[in-house]
Amino acid sequence: MKAITGQKPFEEIAQLLGKCENVYIVGCGTCATMCHTGGKAEVLKMKEQLESTGKKVTGWMVIPTPCDTLTEDALKEDTEAIKAASCLLVMACAFGVQTVALYTDKAVYPALNTLFIGQEEAPGRFYEACLQCGNCVLGLTAGICPLVRCAKGLLNGPCGGSVGGKCEVSPETPCAWQLIIDRLKEQGQLEKLEKITPIRDWSTSLSGGPRRTTVKS
Amino acid sequence: MKAGSNLEKVLESGRFAVTAEAGPPKGTSAAVVQKKAETLRNACDAVNITDNQTAIVRMCSLAGCVIVKQQGVEPVMQMVVRDRNRIAIQSDVLGAIALGIRNILCLTGDHQKFGNHPSARGVYDIDSIQLIQTLKRMRDEKKFINGEDISGEVPLFIGAAENPFADPFEFRVIRLAKKIEAGADFIQTQAVYDVPKFKRWMEMVTERGLDKKTHILAGIIPIRAVGMARYMRDNVPGISLPNELVTRMEQATSGKEEGLKIALETIEQMKEIPGVHGIHIMAVGWEDIVPTLVERVKLLPRPVL
Ligand code: SF4
Ligand code: SF4
């Protein structure tokens, strides 16, 4: 599982930082390093860019996995420099941003957009694999998620725009339902799709409100 | 009779039905819709009013249907699942019935990316097959999706679309069967240009006996100009327009005449295909041509039942 990120335009970052003149930068040694959005190289480039606009970068660090609780200890290692900053700019996925925010009272700003949870299909090429809907249908769809891979999230697809294996939204996007049908056909299970998939319960998704769970020990 | 609509009567009596399509304006003028209704009045059995077609904001289908109905022309309300969740859908259906609308066509809708608000959030709470199911349950059991009772009658003649030219080809018939099982009383197809492919699809349909369980109306879009033919061939997902038709349009002295001729020939062929119960003419922006077209294929006058 990888959180795929993209860097926000620098103007947006500058706007977020606003009057915050002293900035501390946090990078991510895992997903954002792999995406080239928040590794050491990108953090240093950001430092340079901020300095060229007159900001002061009081320090920086690349936390191995800013999304876990060890972040607290990591931040303690550079207390002085963080103290000298009036805000933190986090070059990690939104999960990392929120974790950093748990362990500091200072304003925390994201430098990245978290795009999706990605599956690598070729080196450096990712597609969205799951949106955590809370009610998984992969068992009916040959392991291919129709909610994120079909542009309309259809459960009884394909729509009338599926042509030559491609989705109507773009010639670069495979039609999820063509993939599902091909796969089920190979497995001799196409008849699975003859049954109508009933209306789903979206309350398990974000539509049901913020989600929380307690893992039983 | 499920709804007692004119369209239902024509189809149930075994006659060859004619429906046409009209798009409401990108504005507030009822007169625009009235004019289209007048043009189509005697040329068809019912008029489909599109629902923000190609994801471009227009006057809502429900209002368009009411205006057409006030003119004494029977509407088919198109309804896409792109823009409404189940709460809005069921509420719109109640309102439509209260206002005398009896035919509803269930659609997925073109992706919002194609329209004039590409940054809109797509809804897709339920899909088009589930929409058909919902309408059938509302009509036959007088129940909402959640199982609660609906007060009052729910007369509905339920339609769906199918595209025989989309992929995967063999699956299109399975999907049609699912729509029929869900409750589709009639089907309006994507525009037919590739007649041999359509025939192959209809053979699969009749083999499964599906033509006995629903009424299939073949889609017709008259081509106005060679540019339109090329555009549809190259850019409209799910339309299969053979090159030879483009060549015919290129060589014609009058594009309009040739387009009309192609449409006439196609309709004549549709009349001969077993299992086809009518045609659905989508001459959007060229509604004037519909009466001529219907007259020349000898489908006038339309029955009064
Ligand atoms: S069905 Fe839901 S849980 Fe399963 S892969 Fe798709 S989004 Fe994820
Ligand atoms: S073309 Fe395929 S993937 Fe695209 S919206 Fe239609 S069914 Fe979904």
Write out pLDDT tens, residues A70-87: 999 999 999 999 999 999
Mean confidence (pLDDT) of chain B: 97
Which amino acid, B257?
E
A153 touches chain B (CB under 8 A): yes
Q: Measure the CA–CA gap between A83 and A105, rounded to whole angstroms.
A: 10
Predicted confidence at residue B284, as pLDDT, reads 84
Q: Tell me which amino acid residue B154 is.
A: V
The 10s digit of each residue's pLDDT in B222-273 is: 999 999 999 999 988 889 999 999 999 999 999 999 999 999 999 999 999 9
Cβ atoms of residues A91 and A25 within 8 Å: yes
- Measured distance CA(B110)–CA(B115) in Å, rounded: 8
Q: Which atom of ligand 2 is nearest to the CA of B111?
A: 5
**What DSSP assignment string belongs to B23-39?**
PPPSSS-HHHHHHHHHH
When pLDDT is averaged across residues B125-137 and rounded to a whole number, the result is 98
If one compares B133 and B114, the residue with the highest pLDDT of the two is B133
Residue B122 is classified by DSSP as P
Residues of B whose CB is below 8 A from A163: 166-167, 237-238
8 Å CB contact between B112 and B55: yes
C-alpha B165/C-alpha B159 separation (Å) is 19
Nearest CA among A159, A130, A126 for reference residue A145? A130
Residue B49's identity, in one-letter code, is I
Domain coordinates of chain A in residue numbers?
A: 2-115, 133-196
Q: Which of residues 154-213 of A touch B (CB under 8 A)?
A: 154-165, 168-169, 175, 178, 181-182, 190, 193-194, 196-199, 202
Residues lower than pLDDT 70 in chain A: 1
**Contact flag A164-B238 (C-beta cutoff 8 Å):** no
Mean pLDDT of B154-173: 95
Over residues B169-193, the mean pLDDT reads: 96
Beta sheet of A112-122, edge-to-edge order: A2-7, A112-122, A125-128
What is the C-alpha separation between B209 and B214, in angstroms, rounded?
10
Q: Is the peptide bond before A158 cis (omega within 30 degrees of 0)?
A: yes
Number of H helices and E strands in chain B, helices first, is 11, 8
Is A161–B110 a contact, with Cβ atoms under 8 angstroms apart? Answer: yes
Domain A2-115 has what CATH class?
alpha beta
- Helical pair B255-272 and B226-235, crossing angle rounded to 10 deg: 60
Residues of B in contact with A199 (CB under 8 A): 86, 126, 130, 133-134, 145
Q: Give tens-digit pLDDT for B265-298.
A: 999 999 999 999 999 999 988 999 999 999 999 9
CA of B34: how far to CAs of A39, B44, B56, B150, in Å? 63, 15, 21, 32
Q: For residue A115, give the 3-state DSSP assignment.
A: strand
pLDDT in tens, B195-231: 999 999 999 999 999 999 999 999 999 999 999 999 9
In the block, tokens 């090429």 appear at A125
Is the omega angle on the peptide bond into residue B168 within 30 degrees of 0, that is, cis?
A: yes
Q: Quote the tokens at residue B133.
A: 């199911």
CA–CA distance from A170 to each of A115, B113, B166, B219 (Å)?
A: 18, 10, 15, 25
Residue A101 φ/ψ, nearest 5 degrees: -60, -25
Tokens coding B53: 């077609």
Closest CA to B189 of B38, B24, B19: B19
Triad B101, B106, B112: Cα angle to 5°: 115
Q: How many CA atoms lie less than 13 Å away from A156 in the CB half-sphere? A: 28
Domain ranges of chain B: 6-223+276-296
- E strand or H helix at A126, and its extent? strand A125-128
pLDDT score recorded for residue A58: 98
Q: What are phi and psi of B83, to 5 degrees?
A: -110, -5
Total-model pTM = 0.94
CA dihedral B123, B125, B129, B130 (to 10 degrees): -150
Q: Domain B6-223+276-296 falls in which CATH fold?
A: TIM Barrel (3.20.20)
Per-window interface: B 210-239 vs A, CB < 8 A: 237-238
Give the pLDDT of residue B237. 81
Pairing verdict, β A170-174 and A166-167: antiparallel
